[in-house]
Chain A
Amino acid sequence: MKNPFLLLVFTAILAASFGLGGCGEKQRAAGKNQIVWIKNAYAQFFRLGYTASDSFLELFADENGEKVIGKFHWGKSSHVSGYQPRGSMARIVSLSSIHTGMLAELSAHKTLVGVESQKYIAHPSLSGTPELKRLAEVAPDGPIIPEKLALCSPTIVLGTLSSIEDKQTIERLSLNKFSVYWCQNHLENHPLGRSEWLIALGWICGKPTQAQEKFNRIRADYESLVEKAKAMKSETPTVITNCVYNGIWFVPQFSSFVSQLIRDAGGKPISTEAGSGSNVISIEKAVGLFAQADIWINTDLCTSLNCLRSSDPRVAHIKAFRQGRVYHFNKQLQTNGSNAYWDMGCIYPNRILSDLFHIFQNNLQSDSLNYYDICR
Chain B
Amino acid sequence: MQDHKPRITQASTVNRRGLRPRLTLLLLAIFGLVILLDLEPFSSRWDLPGANAIFWDLHFPRVMAAAIGGIALAWSGLMMQTLFRNPLAGPFLIGITPGATFGVAIVTYLGSQIGLDDSGTSFALQPLAALGGAFLVLSIQLALHKKLTQLHALLLVGLVLGYFFGAAVDIITQTAQAQQVKQFVMWGMGGFDRVLPSQLPILAVSASIGLGILLLNRHAFNAYLLGDIHVESAGKSIKNLRLWLIIGSASMAAIVTAYCGPVSFVGLIAPHISRKINATESHGPNILTTAFAGAALTLTADILANQLIANSILPINAILSIIGAPVVIFMLARK
Contacts and interface: CB of A to CB of B under 8 A. Distances in A.
Nearest to B175: A141
Contacts of A306: 118, 120
Interface residues of A, number: 34
Interface in A277-329: 279-285, 287-288, 291, 300-304, 306-314, 317
A280 B191 contact: no
Interface stretch (B52-60, B68-76, B145-153): B52-60
A309 B126 CA distance: 14
A65 interface: no
A247 interface: yes
B54 A287 contact: yes
Chain A at the B interface: mostly helix, strand, loop or mixed? mixed
A247 B259 CA distance: 11
Contact of A311 (B50, B119, B191, B193): B119
A306 B195 CA distance: 19
Contacts of A141: 174-175
Nearest to B182: A245
Interface residues of B, number: 37
A347 B177 CA distance: 22
B59 A284 contact: yes
A313 B121 contact: no
A248 B189 contact: yes
A303 B179 CA distance: 13
A283 B120 contact: no
B303 to A, nearest CB: 12
Interface in B142-167: none
A131 interface: no
Interface string A263-286: 000000000110000011111110
A246 interface: yes
B312 A317 contact: no
Contacts of B118: 301-304, 306-307
B183 interface: yes
Chain B interface, DSSP helix/strand/loop, else mixed: helix
Given A285-B313, A317-B54, A246 B124 contact: no
A301 B119 contact: yes
Nearest to B120: A307
A142 interface: yes
A99 to B, nearest CB: 17
Interface in A227-245: 245
B123 interface: yes
B58 A284 contact: yes
Contact of B50 (A280, A281, A317): A317
Given A247-B194, A291-B50, A307 B119 contact: yes
Among B53, B58, B120, B121, the one with the most A-chain Cβ atoms within 10 Å of its Cβ is B120
Contact of B194 (A246, A273, A303): A246
A248 B124 contact: no
Contacts of B53: 317
Contacts of B177: 301, 337
Given A246-B186, A285-B313, A317-B53, A304 B193 contact: no
B62 interface: yes
22 contacts: A245-B186, A246-B186, A247-B193, A248-B186, A272-B311, A282-B313, A284-B62, A285-B306, A287-B54, A301-B119, A301-B177, A301-B179, A302-B120, A303-B118, A310-B121, A311-B120, A312-B123, A312-B194, A312-B196, A313-B196, A317-B50, A317-B57
Interface of A: 141-142, 245-248, 272-273, 279-285, 287-288, 291, 300-304, 306-314, 317, 337
